[in-house]
Every structure is written in structure tokens, then in C-alpha cells.
Amino acid sequence: MSRTLYDLVGLAAGVAFILALKGLSHPKTARRGNLIGAFGATLATLVVFFYANPGSSLPLNNLGWILGAMVVGLAIGVPAARKVQMTQMPQLVALFNGVGGGAAALVAIVEYLHLGPKATTAEVIFTVFTVIVGCVSFSGSVITFLKLQELMTTRPVIFPAGRFIIAATLVSVLGVGVWVVSALGTTPLLVLAALSLLFGVLFVLPVGGADVPIVISLLNAFTGLTVAASGYVLDSVLLIIAGTLVGASGTILTRKMAEAMGRSLFGTLFGAFTAKPQDAAGSGEERPVRSGSPDDVAILLNYARRVVIVPGFGLAVAQAQHTVRELADMMIAKGIDVAYGIHPVAGRMPGHMNVLLAEANVPYEQLAEMDEVNPTFGQTDVAIVIGANDVVNPAAQTSPGCPIYGMPILEVNNAANIIFLKRSMRPGFAGIENELLYDPKTMLLFGDAKASLTKVVSALKAL
């Protein structure tokens, strides 16, 4: 295959990626957009088997190894993507991003070993960039995975002199980077990779649970840039285009996510450096709360005119989407005005709750976005908060010191009655006390969201 034809196919794949991102930005075209992207990626992968390197003979060297490795990748990636519970999808995306970053770093290392002293300074600089950013993306994504999977604490991990350690690591990463460029050895490159992996860990540890999606998005953009840099070293226009597209769109997306959560990007990434460890146990004293029975809840709902359901991650964990729909349908049948108030970051990622409720066939028109529903809480008789906490915490508006301060919330505190369905008094993902739980107009119904809802449904039926 001639170089020109190869580059033309690469260009076609690049165009497919542009159309894919464009399509993914609109609900109607999103699925098609994703398929166009998959088509472009398949095209690019197929054509490289006919022209990998200038003058390379066909079939490719090491073809057996290449195909075998792809089969292994397919055997891991496809079942993982198929079987994952929708509640666990954010951490899977983080993991996929991490392995992409790792792959880019490995490609850069192999090319560096291959070129040896023949490498130009520009090539070495791009290699160093790819190794640093690829490794940071890999280890950082692994930490976000552990946080989302709750295999480690979701609170910011802050250690004494943490910011000095992080700064020192960054300086040594850059120092070793310069060493690689000037000395051109294998050892410095491996030291660079190891230090970059360490930096990735240190960089993500201080980030609080609620901010993790922003970090995933940022690391995603980083990985895109490493792919673009690899494209330069490997002389592949396709990789430059694809990597740059992801880097640029990922940056915009990260900023939009941060805006949706009312955070500044800078504050998210570096706020934890300066944050004081919060008093973990709160005041420690037992404060009175008003807890109710499923019958109390059913009576309250029966005489309401307007009810807003605020679903959170706890609802998804309990797989209670279907039960909540049953409850909503029953209330609608009684002539009650029912809406779901969806916080933009309900769940673990922007838009995550919409995916989960769509899975339970909740009619799209009942889902109200935060800006629509907030002004209506004043006329709402009952707000039912199911497995959510941080997204309704008034501390975000009232206490400037707290980690979620400034995040827009669903103002359920304006409703006449508030019902919280919770497993326990444990604070939410961000690890902050919610004053609303102690409010006199709040009633708590403890237990698994699905079990509680089922009881409320039968109590409401009996009325």
C-alpha cells in the first residue's frame, strides 16, 4: 500500500472522529456518533496492517504476537464493558482511560529504545512528554478507580507536608526529564517512568470523592495529548489528529463538568493541598432526629398535592429504580403532581442518574433538571430524597469552609416536608454532615432504599 493511500485512510478516520464527537454532543445523534467513532477506529486499525512503517514488508513482523495481543485485549475489554453494572460504569471508564495512558507511555518507551542515539532532540522531548503524562494518567486513573469502587477512602487523603512532597516529586520528574533529553539512556527513562507513576498517585490522592469525575475527565484529556505526541514521534497524522481532538474536547468537557458542580478547576486540583483535615466524626454527640415508619411516609404522600423525588446514588446501589417508578406511578394515579429532581452530578458523574433512570424506563418528561425544579420547591408539599445527600446539603450555600461550598444544590429545604430514605446516618460521598437531617420538618426512614420503598408502596396501597 502506498504512503499516500495510507495517509488518506488515516485522514478519513480522523474525520470520523470529528463526526463522532459532534454526534455525541446531541442526544438524538449520540449513539450514531459513537458508532461512527468505532468505525473510524476499526478502519485505522485495519489499514495499519498493510503499511506500518516505511518499507515494512508484508505481512508485518511479529504478526502472530500482534494478533494474539489484540485477542487478549478483546477478551478482557469486551466482557468488562458488557457486564459492568451501570452503577459502576464511572470507574470502568476511569480504568479504560488509565490503560490507554499506559499504552501510550509503553509505545513511547519502545520507540525510544528502538531509535536509540538516532533520535532527534524533538523526538526525545515528545517521548519524555508522553512517558510523563501517560504514566501520570495511568496511575492517577487507578487511584480514581480505587476511590470510586470504594476500595479506599473517598475522602481527600492529606498527609503532613503533602504539598511539599508533591511539589518535590514534580520537580524531580521534570529534572529527570531534562536528564533523559541530555543523556539519552535507558536508565533515566525508566527512572522517569517510575517517578511519573508516583506523581500520578500523589496528584489524585488529595482529591475528594465528589471531585473525582472532574479528575477522570482531565486525565482523559491528558491521555489524548500523549497520543498526539506519539503521533509526532511515529510520524502518524491520524494519531496527531485523534489525540489532539480528545485533548481539546476533553479540556472543554472538564471545564463544563467543573462548572456544573460549581467548582473552579484550579480549586478542585489544588484546593486539597491547602485544605485542613475536617473533623471526621463531626461533633460526636448524638443529636435527635425524627425517624418515621413507612406508614407515616405513605400518609404524608397521600395528602400531598406536589411531590418531588430526588434520586441519588443510594437509589442506584439498592437497584430501586423500578420500585421508585412504581411509587411515582401510584401517586400520579391519585392525582398527585410528581416530578424527579435530577442534580447534574447525581450519581457519580454528570448525567449518570439520567442513564440509570432511563434504564428503569422512567418517562423522560418526568425528569426535571435542577434549574427547572428549584423554583418549584416552595410549592412542593413533600420532597423525597432517596439515597442522596451531598446534592441537597444546604452547607453548599451557607458554610464557606466546607469542601462542597459553591456547588449548586437542589433546594429541598424549601419544601414543606422532607423525607430522607437513608441506610444510616453516615454522611455522603463528600464526607460532610448534612444539617438538613436534623431539621424539624425532616422525617427519616432508615433502611435499604428498595426495601423501604416497597413498604411505602404497600402502605400507600392500603390507604
Partner 1 sequence: MEPMAIVSIFVLAVFVGFEVVSKVSSTLHTPLMSGANAIHGVILVGAIIVADHSSTNLELGLAVAAIVLATINMVGGFVVTDRMLEMFKGNKK
Residues 87-126 that bind partner 1 (CB under 8 A): 89-90, 92-93, 96-97, 99-100, 102-104, 106-107, 109-111, 113-114, 122
Least distance between partner 1 and beta carbon 388 (Å): 17
Residue 264: strand, helix, or coil: coil
Distance between CA atoms of residues 411 and 96, nearest Å = 35
Shortest distance (Å) from residue 132 CB to partner 1 = 16
The answer to the question of residue 395 lying near partner 1 (CB under 8 A) is no
* CB of 227 or CB of 443, closer to partner 1: 227
- For partner 1, the binding residues in 424-463 under the rule CB under 8 A are none
* Given 242, 328, 430, 432, the residue binding partner 1 (CB under 8 A): 242
Q: Indicate if 390 belongs to the active site.
A: yes
Q: Which residue of 349, 386, 391, 392 would you call a contact of partner 1, by CB under 8 A?
A: 349
Strands of 442-446's sheet in order across: 367-369, 337-342, 306-311, 382-386, 417-422, 442-446
Report if residue 393 touches partner 1, rule: CB under 8 A: no
CB of 417 closer than 8 Å to CB of 443: yes
Pick out residues in 17-76 that bind partner 1 (CB under 8 A).
Answer: 17-18, 20-22, 24-27, 30-31, 33-35, 37-38, 40-41, 44-45, 48-49, 52-53, 56, 60-62, 65-66, 68-70, 72-74, 76
> Minimal distance in Å, beta carbon 2 to partner 1?
16
Using CB under 8 A as the binding rule, whether residue 78 contacts partner 1 is answered as yes
Is the sign of the CA dihedral 439, 445, 450, 453 positive or negative? negative
Where in 124-183 is the site for partner 1 (CB under 8 A)?
Answer: none
CB burial of residue 45 (10 Å; 0-12, 13-18, 19+): exposed
Query: What would the x/- binding string for partner 1 be over residues 178 to 217, using CB under 8 A?
Result: --------------------------------------xx
The region of 251-259, 289-297, 422-430, 436-444 touching partner 1 under the rule CB under 8 A is 251-259
What's the rounded Cα separation, in Å, for the pair 310 and 376?
A: 13
Read off the C-alpha cell for 425: 446516618
Nearest to 234 by CA among 110, 410, 58: 110
Angstrom distance (rounded) from CA 45 to CA 303:
61
Among residues 235, 295, 390, 448, which one is catalytic?
390
Residues 6+ apart with CB under 8 A from 430: 154, 208, 209, 210, 390, 403, 404
Active-site residues, by number, are 390
